[in-house]
Structure 1
Amino acid sequence: MEDFAVEYLRNESVYRGRYRILRKLGEGGSSVVYMAVDMKSARPVTVKVIKEHVFDGKAAAQIVEEETRVLRFADHPGIPSVVAEYDDAFVLDYVPGNSLEKVLKKKGRFDEKEVVTFGFELLDMLGHLHGLKRPVVYRDLKPANIMLRPDGHLSLIDFGAARFMEQGALTDTLNLGTEGFAAPEQYGNLGQTDPRTDIYCFGRTMLLLLGGKCSPELMEVIDKCIKPDREDRYESCAEIEVALRKYPGRRTRKRALKVAQLLAASAAASAVISFAAAHYDAALSYAAEDAQVRVPAVKERMGNAGIRIKMILKERYGVDVDDLLAPEGEADR
């Protein structure tokens, strides 16, 4: 069999008499990936050619069989479908767009809202894999393996590290993953990987997409995902989804509490001001005959009372009344 991974497929060459190679998409330690056109259907496809004897001497045909079996079993709109398989390669539906890794390099970081939106899509795909009749652990979630399609949605690519969970297994057959994203148990001697392994990779991915900067509330969710001991992590993707739906509420409640405190202080200040105004008017009426003498004294007393009221509100409620009277937005500066 010709070693296509070593010789490489040239642009415009035809693989297996059916797939016209357009360009090389990328190369990893175990395979070379090309974009091609299926001349039978005229649709774009991805051709993944396996390098021989990469995984403990496994033949390329065995690697093809293992990866395509997971892909065929997955059956999810965010996961590419298998078009065909051969003894040295397999063909998938082409996923248009760019990897989040490429987008991240250009953009620097994504904002929190974008990352949370991505998070829900990733959790849907991972949760689907974990919930299959034969649960699948993806094991290699990272920005390079996540495609951002032109329609704004995500797809998972490269299932080379994915495996079926085996009931009763004490360890993985092969320890695969990417340093910086892989969970501690992926390095061996900590039992077989499980859905919590993907949860760790998910947390690390979210953190990188955020550039390490996010609200304390979201960081709490991420921190629980990336606990070194898997027993301390979320048990499932569904749990993380619940936490992500609640976290904006926690932020809103904290903001609402602050606003409520300000409104209460404002009401108190209004009452004080109304009280002072009423007495101020009474003083003016009472001192009508001698206003020029009495009014300045009354104003001074009211001013001193106002200062004292501000001090009490500051000491007891931690609220600066001046902030209440400042134009919107200035109080938080």
Structure 2
Amino acid sequence: MDRDCAGNCILLKQLGRGGQGEIYLAWDEEKSSYTAVKRFESRLLEGIREARILESLCHPGIPKYLGRRLEDGHLDLFMEYIPGISVKEYIRLHEKIPERRTAVWGIQLLDILDYLHRRSPPVIHCDIKPSNLIITRRGRLFLIDYGTAVLGKDGNQKLGTCGYAAPEQMDGLGYADEQSDIYSFGMTLYHMVTGHHPGKKPWEDDKNYGFSRGFARVLKKCIRTDKEDRYQTVSEVRRGLKRVLRKRAAVWAGAAVSLILAAGVCWKSGYKKEQPAYAVLLAKAEEERSKAGSRFSMKAVRYYELAADREPDQAAAYERLLRYYQSAG
């Protein structure tokens, strides 16, 4: 699978750091396309190990491995470049992520983890956190950086990032396994939905975060200190999150129907007109629907939700969102 990339790729800029290497954006002259390059100036054996893990993986939520090059004392790994924004940056821009969207992205991440954990031997990522999740413009999630990934019970050295890593990873006494990734997944969702870094503002069992009960129940079970008390497989976590989404959809539909029925009375009695910002959000939602065509647009849904949050007493946003859900089945 490896190919000689010498002379074909030009490094453009540094994108960040991952594991033991630095990540660069590069231009592939041969293919006339961008690519991501992870450069190891030292720890070359770790780089080769990561390359061997990557070349065995094939999933739509994992960047494709393209090859490696050893030259002038450093090792370069070439991977598919995913244009988008990290969840860490998304949180920085928006402070936190709504529960429903967090659940949707969480299910996408669980699909990737399910693929990794079902391999033989299973691939344990060991470093799930917002900076290792990339969201594309179409709302598709990618899991990146496999520098700390292990195959099965491959050693018990300290792995992961403080705040996200499971207790058994940080004390160096236990082995990282599927339940360790589930713990990191839970802490990542906690950061997404609250905006709080788990290493700086840890989860408090007795605190009311404003989650739905179902969502809080899933989150609590993911981050139990004792791994035997956590979910045992990501399939169980995924079922829990899907139940949360189904219940939320039912609540939205019920609220929308009630407001639609009340709307006729409101308009007849001279109900206030839409505020400009409200109308703009609705217009943006319709625009995103139109641009998406036959595809379901999460961005359109978000604009409808923002409009509903801004003017909760008005029916239009609920009504249009309900119709959009109905049209999508």
Identify whether the pair has TM-score above 0.5, normalized to the shorter chain: yes
Counterpart CA distance in 1 for 2:22 and 2:80 is: 16
State the one-letter code of the partner of 2:38: K
Query: Is 1:188 matched up with 2:175?
Result: no
Q: Please name the residue that 2:228 is paired with.
A: 231
Deviations 1:85-123 (Å, cap 9, x if unpaired)?
123121101011010101110011111110000011000
Deviations 1:211-241 (Å, cap 9, x if unpaired)?
1542222011000000000000000010011
Compute the TM-score of the two structures, normalised by the length of structure 1.
0.66
**Matching residue within 111, 128, 145 for 1:158:** 145
**Matching residue within 98, 114, 117 for 1:130:** 117
Change (3 A) 1:113 1:249: closer
Counterpart CA distance in 2 for 1:154 and 1:252 is: 22
SS at match of 2:22: strand
State the one-letter code of the partner of 1:63: E
Residue 245 of structure 1 deviates from its aligned partner by 2.1
Q: Superposed, which structure 2 residues align to 1:3-42 within 5 Å?
A: 16-27=6-17, 30-42=20-32
Name stretches of at least 5 consecutive residues in structure 2 with no aligned partner. Answer: 195-208, 254-311, 314-329
Higher relative contact order (CA 8 A, sep 6+): 2
Change (3 A) 1:213 1:99: farther
Counterpart CA distance in 1 for 2:163 and 2:232 is: 21
Q: Superposed, which structure 2 residues align to 1:20-99 within 5 Å?
A: 20-27=10-17, 30-52=20-42, 59-60=43-44, 62-87=45-70, 88-99=75-86
Change (3 A) 1:245 1:210: same
Q: Please name the residue that 1:295 is paired with.
A: none
Query: Is 1:215 matched up with 2:234?
Result: no
Of stretches 188-197 and 101-110 in structure 1, the one that deviates more from structure 2 is 188-197
Deviations 1:34-80 (Å, cap 9, x if unpaired)?
1011111111101111131xxxxxx41x1221111111122111101
Q: Check the 8 A contact 2:103/2:245 in 1, yes or no.
A: no
RMSD after superposition: 2.5
Residue 199 of structure 1 deviates from its aligned partner by 0.2
Q: Check the 8 A contact 2:162/2:170 in 1, yes or no.
A: no
Q: Check the 8 A contact 1:176/1:186 in 2, yes or no.
A: yes
Q: Check the 8 A contact 1:30/1:50 in 2, yes or no.
A: yes
State the one-letter code of the partner of 1:224: K
Change (3 A) 1:90 1:189: closer
SS at match of 1:86: strand
Compute the TM-score of the two structures, normalised by the length of structure 2.
0.66
Counterpart CA distance in 1 for 2:119 and 2:104 is: 23
Q: Please name the residue that 1:118 is paired with.
A: 105
Q: Check the 8 A contact 1:64/1:86 in 2, yes or no.
A: no
Q: Which has the larger Rg?
A: 1
**Matching residue within 164, 171, 176 for 2:159:** 176
Deviations 1:180-199 (Å, cap 9, x if unpaired)?
10000101344211100000
State the one-letter code of the partner of 1:231: E
Change (3 A) 1:28 1:78: closer
Residue 16 of structure 1 deviates from its aligned partner by 2.9
Deviations 1:271-292 (Å, cap 9, x if unpaired)?
xxxxxxxxxxxxxxxxxxxxxx
Q: Please name the residue that 1:321 is paired with.
A: none
Of stretches 26-35 and 65-74 in structure 1, the one that deviates more from structure 2 is 26-35
Q: Check the 8 A contact 1:217/1:251 in 2, yes or no.
A: no
Q: Check the 8 A contact 1:218/1:247 in 2, yes or no.
A: yes
Q: Check the 8 A contact 2:36/2:80 in 1, yes or no.
A: yes
SS at match of 1:102: helix
Counterpart CA distance in 1 for 2:136 and 2:251 is: 36
Q: How many residues align?
A: 235
Residue 153 of structure 1 deviates from its aligned partner by 0.3
State the one-letter code of the partner of 1:110: I
Q: Check the 8 A contact 1:140/1:181 in 2, yes or no.
A: yes
Q: Check the 8 A contact 2:47/2:147 in 1, yes or no.
A: no
Counterpart CA distance in 1 for 2:131 and 2:56 is: 23
Q: Please name the residue that 2:205 is paired with.
A: none
Q: Please name the residue that 2:322 is paired with.
A: none
